[in-house]
Structure 1
Amino acid sequence: MSELFGKSLIGTRVGDYLVQDLVGQGGMSMVFRARDERLGRQVALKVLAPQLALDTRFRQRFVRESRTVAGIDHPNIIPIFEAGEADGLLFIAMRYVEGRDLRGLLDHEGPPPVARANRLLSQVASALDSAHQQGLVHRDVKPANILIAGGAGTGEPEHVYLTDFGLTKSTYSLAGLTSQGQFLGTPRYVAPEQITGQPVDGRSDLYALGCVAYEVLTGVPPFQRDSELALLYAHVSDDPAPVTSHRPDLPPSVDLVMARALAKSPVERYGTCREFVAALRDAISGEDFTGLAAYRPAGHPVDTRPPLGSSTHPSHPRAPSAPAPRPAARIRLTRGRLAGVAFAVLAVIALGVAFLTLRGGGGNVWKKYPSTVAAPFTFSYPGGWEARTHADLFAVASPAAEEFERLFTTPIAGDWTSVNGLISQEPARAQGVYTGVSDSLNLSDSSENLQESLKSLMPGEVGYAGAPVPVTVGGHPAFRIDGVVSDPKAGGRLDFFAYVVQRPGAPAAFLTFFCAPASCDRPLFDRMISGAVIGQ
């Protein structure tokens, strides 16, 4: 939202609220100090970008979710007085808190003493657990959303408020706000499952709280990288430096507590936010506690049972127990029955072979593409496909390799004539792999620049389904980018998902799977990418 728009609201009324001062702003909202003309009180008025009110579904869900948050009665969650629409603007009226946020405290004072840090984190943890018990997940826990009232010079003890609960981040996707690759969440504090598009629950907020706690103790976030993409990849694949590498005065047990809070898998984390903060407090004080014994680093067996007191946690309930195995029934096979069973087994095998043959274009016989200068991947592909290497530029593997080699020969303006015919008449053959190397692809670039660089390698107009997602391919860091490429003249279209892979000391390589619209065989492509080996 523009600053000019914010200034234009000062002195005007939004509903029953007289807008007085702009106190904060983000990409999709602004927060003002305002006066409730009905009750004569100061409020914080959050006004959303005007275009959001144009989406009917967004308006309905906005009001519904805001009312849900308003129903939470917790001393550490900012109370919501009203949520509604006035003069084409969506707004939320909240309690106005005099003070500053944790971001400002860290920037101006640095890490607080551990006793103060514990008091602050304990209040945030209590607020989050209360929200989780009512089925709400914050999804954007960060220092800027933690307000601190009272404290030095006020005569009042410090009181923490968790804010920005007025909209769950899933609401924004209803308005199409992820269509341009916008990432919902703050990269410094976001959980791996949010980045990779997996389901989130209260343990995602716990991970973010762990990132905040790390910064509160050390003065720096757990991951620092040169670009947003590299930062997201670090959350998914890297381990943070131990807290004690920044704070050697703290006991080593603090590192174990933080490692569990920041575990890549949600099942390895603590069951609740308060359990995590209590374990951190005990570790700092040097007390023995059970939280250490329950955690094992990744790669070791982990007890995934929820801790005591969290088995009914609504945001991540206990999985149902598997039924006890039933004793095997004794079956006496006569010669006739044995022959019948053998015939049935053979019939099933024959049907399976026929299915694989139809599905993979070559049955269970797979071929292997050897790594080349043009395409430094060794990968397997169905036997009914053909692989072609085009000079030292790229390679394709497809049931229609000739047609797709011709298409990808000319980036941006490829010859779609034959491929359009396949898409409309033989969509099962309009699939395959396009792979090569490019000096223009750089995983350290921003999301927008990486996507722009990939466009230059595609044979038509490109649109993206979202931001690049950090993954690994053959043990190398990579990003997966989903999108569509289309013929600007005749309108033919291919869906694709591309893997851009970083190679040490060499240009990045790409492996792009494509198919006719809405017909990608994901299990087939997943098998191919899982077995890919990266060459130099």
Structure 2
Amino acid sequence: MDSPRNSLGPGAEVAGYRVQSLIARGSRGVVYRALDVEHDRPVALRLLAPELSADHEFSRRFDRESRLVASMDHPNILPVYGTGEWSGLLYAAMHHVRGTDLQSELDRRGPLPLPEALRILTETAAALDAAHEAGVIHRDVRPGNILLSEDPLPADGADGHRHVYLAGFGLGRPMAIASGAATPAQVPGTVDYLAPEQIRGGDVDGRADVYALACVAFALLTGRPPFDEADGEGDEEARLRAHLAGKPPRLAGERPDVPAVVESAILRGMARDRADRPPSCGALVGLMSGAPATDAGRVPPPPPDATTEPAGDGPAHGGDDDVRAEPGRPADTGGGPGPGPRPDQHGGSRHRAVPRVGGRTRRMIVLGAVLLLLLGLGLVLARWSPGEKYVPFRAEGVPYTLDVPESWTARTHQAGDSTVSVLSPADLTAFFADDPEAPAAVGRTAADDPSGVVGLAIYHRPTGLEGQSPAARVDAAEALLPGREAYLVHRGEATVGDLTGQVMEGSVQLPTATLQVRVLVVEADPAQLLVFFAPSPLFHERAEVFDEVTASLRRTG
């Protein structure tokens, strides 16, 4: 990287771009602030390293990725104005962002507030899903490739929200470390956000980006990547093994303010088997806010040649793990206003950018979908009356009574050594009896009639709860709950009517929906497990009902 071609001073011209200053330098190239002479606008000009530029296969991949990224019209994808070759070096001219990258923000501030983190994740997810629709898999989603502009677009409002740009397309790469075909030393960039299938060297689709975005979510809320504790010496092989076989870390101990539904969404996004992950990045972020884990689109396929062709440095501004601002220089990822019209690349470049289409239409479709979702939710909520009558419930052998809504029908069945009473409008007996076909059926009911899947399950004499620590009780309760996966977080001790108990919160994953749950371990003789449940979009609306039922518990006998 000491080549004179990569040490350009102010005034030097590269294919119609006049260099103004150096922004950053890294192993894959350098990034300059430059002026697009033809269009009189600032750009971030990236010159790639000579060894990369001389690689024929890399050059072909760079060309393909450049065309695809340039064709994408999305407000959160960093615009690429032009690419080409100059003096034997590949280059890319990108929108110049005045601001910082998310990794620098985390280094400076540490963990972010949940609302801010969710805004960043929402915009990043939108960019990734748009890329997947265009046939582009990012493969290198991490905080260093997420840029925060100091110049919000008008649509961002005046709330201080910094606009998000996703950069780094083309920097990801398939790997085969697990099979011995590669070692961490041969892997450019960080290993902290790689999906297991990337590490194994298998085919990659959009769910690899879902995994990475879940890891980014963990980093935003804790200030560190998920498996950075795998080795105190920073051993990358240990972190790779953790991605392949380690247990995903939990948020509850570090961020007790974060709702359990957020943690359960992150854990689902980090599932080692990609079939168990949400089908899109938008679905992942939706789970964090309580939306069902469904997606209207298909799982995006791998890009062309994905199984045989590793991706290299593409036309992204940023993206090098070891790219650092020059000493004494501010952390400047660009400058100037938000993106205006994006004319075709000037004639001096090798390729012309593909015209961008459909951005406004896509945003209008998304807005319409949101309005329909809100309208549908309002219709569902209208079916429930806050003044609903409550009636007493008492089961044989249960040392307490409680009052439940009149619309909840009680059904009791035997489950091993325990008896389970399920109180809800719909018949969910098969679900709590662990019928393998039931989760899919309950998911369909949750989609068609969400208010029918609201209620309480009472486990009488459940095993594994007596004399256990709070953490052990969480594990025991997770094992008892039905569904594909259950995630619970200990929330402390509480008064439950005139009894005491341990409170947990979390979720139960269905194939097409998420049930949010509040679990109480009631200190009775024997201990009782009470599970309040509702589809995630309804849970907070029903919390008042659950509180009233809980407060009505009265010891008997």
Report the TM-score when normalising by structure 1: 0.50
How far apart are the structure 1 equivalents of 2:64 and 2:89? 16
| Residue of structure 2 in register with 1:246 after alignment | 254
How far apart are the structure 1 equivalents of 2:28 and 2:89? 12
Aligned pair in 2 of structure 1 residues 27, 19: CA closer, same or farther (>3 Å)?
same
User: Secondary structure of 1:244's partner?
Assistant: coil
How far apart are the structure 1 equivalents of 2:35 and 2:295? 46
| Residue of structure 1 in register with 2:263 after alignment | 255
Aligned pair in 2 of structure 1 residues 9, 237: CA closer, same or farther (>3 Å)?
farther
Deviations 1:315-368 (A, max 9, x none): 59xxxxxxxxxxxxxxxxxxxxxxxxxxxxxxxxxxxxxxxxxxxxxxxxxxxx
Confirm or deny: 8 A CA contact 1:126 1:273 kept in the other structure.
Answer: yes
**Counterpart selection for 1:218 from 222, 238, 243:** 222
Tell me the amino acid that sits aligned with residue 44 of structure 2.
A
Aligned pair in 2 of structure 1 residues 64, 110: CA closer, same or farther (>3 Å)?
same
Matches within 5 A, 1:448-527: none
How far apart are the structure 1 equivalents of 2:262 and 2:185? 37
Confirm or deny: 8 A CA contact 2:174 2:199 kept in the other structure.
Answer: no
| Residue of structure 1 in register with 2:163 after alignment | 159
2:74 matches 1:70:
no
| Residue of structure 2 in register with 1:99 after alignment | 99
How far apart are the structure 1 equivalents of 2:16 and 2:116? 39
Query: How far does residue 188 in structure 1 lie from its aligned partner after superposition?
Result: 1.0
Tell me the amino acid that sits aligned with residue 21 of structure 2.
D
- Aligned length in residues: 289
Aligned pair in 2 of structure 1 residues 228, 79: CA closer, same or farther (>3 Å)?
same
Matches within 5 A, 1:59-138: 59-138=59-138
Confirm or deny: 8 A CA contact 2:140 2:171 kept in the other structure.
Answer: no
How far apart are the structure 2 equivalents of 1:108 and 1:84? 36
Confirm or deny: 8 A CA contact 2:69 2:80 kept in the other structure.
Answer: yes
Matches within 5 A, 1:10-409: 10-150=10-150, 157-166=161-170, 169=173, 182-224=186-228, 225=231, 226=233, 227-282=235-290, 289-291=291-293, 307-311=294-298, 313-315=300-302
How far apart are the structure 2 equivalents of 1:170 and 1:250? 33
Confirm or deny: 8 A CA contact 1:132 1:315 kept in the other structure.
Answer: no
Confirm or deny: 8 A CA contact 1:47 1:90 kept in the other structure.
Answer: yes
User: Secondary structure of 1:21's partner?
Assistant: strand
Query: How far does residue 208 in structure 1 lie from its aligned partner after superposition?
Result: 0.7
Tell me the amino acid that sits aligned with residue 282 of structure 2.
R
Confirm or deny: 8 A CA contact 1:66 1:167 kept in the other structure.
Answer: no
Matches within 5 A, 1:442-453: none
User: Secondary structure of 1:188's partner?
Assistant: coil
Aligned pair in 2 of structure 1 residues 72, 308: CA closer, same or farther (>3 Å)?
closer
Larger mean Cα displacement after TM superposition, 96-105 or 241-250 = 241-250
Query: How far does residue 193 in structure 1 lie from its aligned partner after superposition?
Result: 0.8
Name the structure, 1 or 2, with higher relative contact order (CA <8 Å, separation 6+): 2
How far apart are the structure 1 equivalents of 2:18 and 2:208? 37
Confirm or deny: 8 A CA contact 1:6 1:22 kept in the other structure.
Answer: no
Query: How far does residue 77 in structure 1 lie from its aligned partner after superposition?
Result: 0.3
User: Secondary structure of 2:47's partner?
Assistant: strand
How far apart are the structure 2 equivalents of 1:178 and 1:71? 33
User: Secondary structure of 1:120's partner?
Assistant: helix
Query: How far does residue 308 in structure 1 lie from its aligned partner after superposition?
Result: 4.2
RMSD of aligned C-alpha atoms?
2.7
Query: How far does residue 249 in structure 1 lie from its aligned partner after superposition?
Result: 2.0
How far apart are the structure 2 equivalents of 1:139 and 1:166? 8
How far apart are the structure 2 equivalents of 1:312 and 1:93? 31
Query: How far does residue 67 in structure 1 lie from its aligned partner after superposition?
Result: 1.1
How far apart are the structure 2 equivalents of 1:230 and 1:141? 20
Query: How far does residue 12 in structure 1 lie from its aligned partner after superposition?
Result: 1.7
Aligned pair in 2 of structure 1 residues 313, 169: CA closer, same or farther (>3 Å)?
closer
How far apart are the structure 2 equivalents of 1:116 and 1:180? 33
Confirm or deny: 8 A CA contact 2:48 2:89 kept in the other structure.
Answer: yes
- State, as a whole percentage, how many aligned pairs show the same letter: 42
Query: How far does residue 182 in structure 1 lie from its aligned partner after superposition?
Result: 1.4
Confirm or deny: 8 A CA contact 1:263 1:269 kept in the other structure.
Answer: yes
How far apart are the structure 2 equivalents of 1:278 and 1:38? 43
Query: How far does residue 252 in structure 1 lie from its aligned partner after superposition?
Result: 2.7
Query: How far does residue 21 in structure 1 lie from its aligned partner after superposition?
Result: 1.6
How far apart are the structure 1 equivalents of 2:283 and 2:41? 37
Query: How far does residue 64 in structure 1 lie from its aligned partner after superposition?
Result: 2.6
Larger radius of gyration: 1
Query: How far does residue 251 in structure 1 lie from its aligned partner after superposition?
Result: 2.7
Point out 4+ residue stretches in structure 1 off by more than 6 angstroms: 177-180
Deviations 1:101-148 (A, max 9, x none): 111111111222111111111000000000011111111111111001
Query: How far does residue 258 in structure 1 lie from its aligned partner after superposition?
Result: 1.4
Confirm or deny: 8 A CA contact 1:151 1:157 kept in the other structure.
Answer: no
Query: How far does residue 58 in structure 1 lie from its aligned partner after superposition?
Result: 2.9
Aligned pair in 2 of structure 1 residues 70, 113: CA closer, same or farther (>3 Å)?
same
How far apart are the structure 2 equivalents of 1:24 and 1:280? 35
Q: Could you list the runs of 5+ residues in structure 2 that have no partner in the other structure?
A: 176-180, 304-557
Confirm or deny: 8 A CA contact 1:122 1:277 kept in the other structure.
Answer: yes
Deviations 1:11-41 (A, max 9, x none): 4221111122221233212211111112211
Deviations 1:435-494 (A, max 9, x none): xxxxxxxxxxxxxxxxxxxxxxxxxxxxxxxxxxxxxxxxxxxxxxxxxxxxxxxxxxxx
Tell me the amino acid that sits aligned with residue 109 of structure 1.
R
Aligned pair in 2 of structure 1 residues 115, 278: CA closer, same or farther (>3 Å)?
same
User: Secondary structure of 1:189's partner?
Assistant: coil
Q: Could you list the runs of 5+ residues in structure 1 that have no partner in the other structure?
A: 172-176, 283-288, 292-306, 317-536
How far apart are the structure 2 equivalents of 1:265 and 1:29? 35
How far apart are the structure 1 equivalents of 2:21 and 2:85? 20
Confirm or deny: 8 A CA contact 2:8 2:19 kept in the other structure.
Answer: no
Aligned pair in 2 of structure 1 residues 315, 25: CA closer, same or farther (>3 Å)?
same
How far apart are the structure 2 equivalents of 1:167 and 1:114? 29
Tell me the amino acid that sits aligned with residue 217 of structure 1.
L
Confirm or deny: 8 A CA contact 2:31 2:45 kept in the other structure.
Answer: yes
How far apart are the structure 2 equivalents of 1:105 and 1:23? 17
